Chain A
Amino acid sequence: MSDFILRTEGLTKEFRGFAAVRDVDLQVRRGTIHALIGPNGAGKTTVFNLLTKFLPVTAGRIFYNDRDITGDRPADIARRGMVRSFQISAVFPHFTVRENIRVALQRVLGTSFHFWRSERSLEGLHARADELIEAVGLTEFTNVAAVELAYGRKRALEIATTLALDPEMLLLDEPTSGLGHEDIARISALIKEVSKTRTILMVEHNLSVVAELSDTITVLTRGHILTQGRYEEVSKNPEVIEAYMGTGHG
């Protein structure tokens, strides 16, 4: 098996002639935290949507564990072990915290089409759900509806739900956006912890988080890769500084 868990070749996405993502060759090394950064509208979320098949590619190919997944359906991507989060926090609002996680856990039981079986058959998953809830510090909200949680806690819940699938690789789209200082610290610590056994590709605007967490950085501007490398190298690149200053990012 190669060093790279995820690879793209010439990844391109056009929206009615406008190239939102252009000829992107991305290589994510197994077991690392890889950050994808760039100004607003650079195409970061679009890359995520392409990788997880939420959008069909216009051109190019995607390899996951050396396997061509360009033609897969989005649900299959998760089954292969690559699970994404969303830029705007994605929870099941009227489910409790535990139910949110349980719905992720229940798929492997293979009873998800059993409409004749009682919901009680899912109670065996509560122990595992509660462990995950504790890991993200939400224990006291176990039975609270997700919609009533503060934003930072919703993000924590989202990560716990993602982890419930025990994915090999996580794609996190701006996990710390909209969070206060304390929450940022908590989420970064969580990502760091999680990355011990997994690969993470994340989009992140907060450069101190990027600096602290990531092993490799890819900078995207106007849909194409400007440069990639380690944080120290990339942050000194005048083109990167230019691209960020130009749109008001520090």
Chain B
Amino acid sequence: MVTTVAPVATVGRRSRAGLVLTIVLVALALIAPLLVYPVFLMKALCFALFACAFNLVAGYGGLLSFGHAAFFGSAGYVTAHAAKVWGFPTELAIVVGVLAGTVLGVVFGWIAIRRQGIYFAMVTLALSQMIYFYALQVPFTHGEDGIQAVPRGHLFGFIDLNQTMTMYYVVLAIFLIGFAIIFRTIHSPFGQVLKAIRENEPRAISLGYRTERYKLVAFILSAALSSLAGSTKSIVFQLASLTDVHWSTSGEVVLMSLIGGLGTVLGPVVGAVVLTTMENYLAQFGSWVTVIQGVIFVLCVLTLRSGIVGAIEDVLRRRSRRKAAPGV
């Protein structure tokens, strides 16, 4: 009977540990701009949110999208255009960007959701390439130059975002809200079905779940949150450019999630921080960055198959099981 009791106790301990970890991380994020260059931190936070959004479909829904840059980049363009050309207040510009990316998510999802595995990846890649070429052609994106000098403006009319520190805390708040939405989604009745589908789709179907609908909802949510990340980034950097809709950005978010740990809550955050840091410090090596990244990626995949966070979780789980063992 001990076996029934022990895991419950571990669950309690685990959620308490999770709470402590959350508090420590938030505290760290609050003081971080005093220690590290805030613009770098904001970039990391935008990518962290993007990676978490990607992880929702890839890690929990089992759908390997290779077109997420379309949402991230398009939302950035729309927000930048709305803020600069239409003169929208910042918060409204972000809302419009998120809406645009979400609509795109509905369309992509509608077309791709019935495809499995590599076919799903190919369809999403093809669709996002169409967006890229569209962005390259239409005048409002300003081609290679991108939309520059986007005004950061005042949030709700009174919070001056031109202050770097203020901007940082706003970005942190946006990240935390996005992260909370994702966390709740994963731990909701919906998340439970989504995980069941990832675990064994035929079984989920045989239990009466119309699995494509769940995958579609997850995909749209993910597109919306990726858009939020992209819109925020265009405000932070006052720039929306082709890089953000390019397929390499889709690839980067896949890398971040894989390195950090696909299907773990914190993995994408860790992956995003690691990759952004790497890009920052390796910038001096010029085009070697890609090569060095490639090598690190291969090493990561070979040694830590479930990513950095996945590996840590494995170690902790093994330790707690060993501790529980004598009781059983």
Asked, given contacts A92-B196, A95-B196, whether A75 binds B205 with beta carbons under 8 Å apart, the answer is yes
Q: Are B207 and A78 in contact (CB under 8 A)?
A: yes
Scoring A96, A104, A140, A165 by chain B CB atoms within 10 A of each residue's CB, the highest score goes to A104
Interface string of B192-208 (1 = CB under 8 A from A): 11011001101111111
Distance from A211 Cβ to chain B, minimum over Cβ atoms (Å) = 28
Interface residues of A in 52-93 (CB under 8 A from B): 52, 54, 73-76, 78-79, 83-86, 90-93
Partner of B191, one of A92, A115, A161: A115
Of B1, B4, B211, B217, the residue contacting A115 (CB under 8 A) is B217
Is the C-beta of B185 less than 8 angstroms from some C-beta in chain A?
Answer: yes
A109–B207 touching, CB < 8 Å: no
Q: Within 8 Å CB of A104, what residues of B? A: 207
Q: Which of B189, B207, B209 has a CB less than 8 Å from the CB of A121? A: B189
Nearest residue (CB) in A for B210 is A75
In whole angstroms, what is the CA distance A79 to B200 when docked? Answer: 18
Closest to A111 in B: B189
Give CA–CA (A109, B206) in the complex, Å: 17
**Does A74 contact B206, Cβ atoms closer than 8 Å?**
yes
Of A20-28, A141-149, A216-224, A236-244, the one with at least 4 CB within 8 A of chain B: A141-149
Residue of A nearest to B207 (CB): A104
Q: Does B288 contact A (CB under 8 A)?
A: no
Cβ-defined contact, B202 with A90, below 8 A: yes
Beta-carbon contact of B190 and A114 below 8 Å: yes
Q: Are B193 and A106 in contact (CB under 8 A)?
A: yes
Complex-state Cα separation, A106 to B214, whole angstroms:
14
Query: Which residues of A are found within 8 Å of B210, using beta-carbon distances?
Result: 73, 75
Contact of B205 among A74, A122, A141 (CB under 8 A): A74
B184 on the interface (CB 8 Å rule)?
yes
Partner of A52, one of B11, B196, B206: B206
Q: How many Å from the CB of A219 to the closest CB on chain B?
A: 26
Answer whether A122 and B189 are a contact pair too, CB < 8 Å, given A75-B210, A90-B202, A115-B217.
yes
Number of residues of chain A lying within 8 A (CB) of chain B: 45
Cα-based distance from A144 to B206 in the complex (angstroms): 23
User: Bound state CA distance, A84 and B204, in angstroms?
Assistant: 11
Find the B residue at minimum CB distance from A109.
B189
Alpha-carbon distance between A107 and B196 when the two chains are bound, in angstroms:
12
Distance to closest chain B CB from A142 (angstroms): 5
Nearest-neighbor residue (CB-CB) of A171 within chain B: B206
Q: Does A99 count as interface, using CB distance less than 8 angstroms?
A: yes
Provide the A37-55 mask, 1 if CB < 8 A to any CB of B, else 0.
Answer: 0000000000000001010
Q: Which of A92-128 contact B (CB under 8 A)?
A: 92-96, 99, 102-104, 106-107, 109, 111-119, 121-122
> Is B7 an interface position by the 8 A CB rule?
yes
- Which A residues are in CB contact (< 8 Å) with B205? 54, 74-75, 78
Provide the residues of chain B in CB contact with A73, threshold 8 Å.
Answer: 210
Chain B residues contacting A99 (CB-CB under 8 Å) are: 192
The answer to whether A86 and B184 touch across the interface, beta carbons within 8 angstroms, is no
- A197 sits at the interface (CB 8 A): no
> Taking the nearest CB of chain A, how far is it from the CB of B114, in angstroms?
12
Please state if B1 and A103 are interface contacts (CB–CB under 8 Å): no
Residue of A93, A113, A139 touching B200 (CB-CB under 8 A): A93
* Inter-chain contacts of A111 with B (CB < 8 A): 189
Residues of A contacting B184 in the complex (Cβ-Cβ under 8 angstroms): 115-116, 118
Q: Does the CB pair A140–B3 fall under 8 Å?
A: yes
B325–chain A nearest beta-carbon distance, Å: 13
Contacts of A92 in B (CB 8 A): 195-196, 199-200, 203
Asked if A140 and B193 make an inter-chain contact with CB atoms under 8 angstroms apart, the answer reads no
Docked pose: A165 CA to B196 CA in angstroms: 16
Residues from chain A with a CB closer than 8 A to the CB of B206 are: 52, 54, 74, 78, 83-86, 90
**How far apart sit A43 and B260, CA to CA, in the bound complex (Å)?**
45
User: Is B63's CB within 8 Å of the partner chain A?
Assistant: no
Q: Please name all residues of chain A whose beta carbon is closer than 8 Å to the beta carbon of B217 when the two chains form the complex.
A: 113, 115
CA separation between A91 and B200, bound complex, in Å?
7
Q: Tell me, rounded to whole Å, the shortest Cβ–Cβ distance linking B270 to chain A.
A: 21
Cβ 8 A contact of B207, one of A76, A93, A139, A161: A161
Contact A114 B188 (CB under 8 A): yes
* CB of A144, distance to nearest CB on chain B (Å): 7
9 A-B Cβ contacts within 8 A?
A54-B205, A78-B205, A78-B206, A92-B195, A99-B192, A104-B207, A115-B217, A119-B189, A140-B1
Residues of B that sit less than 8 Å from A by CB = 1, 3-4, 7-8, 11, 184-185, 187-193, 195-196, 199-200, 202-211, 213-214, 217, 221
4 A-B pairs closest in CB distance: A78-B208, A143-B7, A115-B190, A92-B199
Besides A54-B202, A92-B203, A103-B192, 10 new A-B residue pairs in contact (Cβ under 8 A), listed by A number:
A84-B206, A92-B196, A106-B192, A112-B189, A112-B209, A113-B214, A116-B188, A117-B188, A117-B189, A143-B3
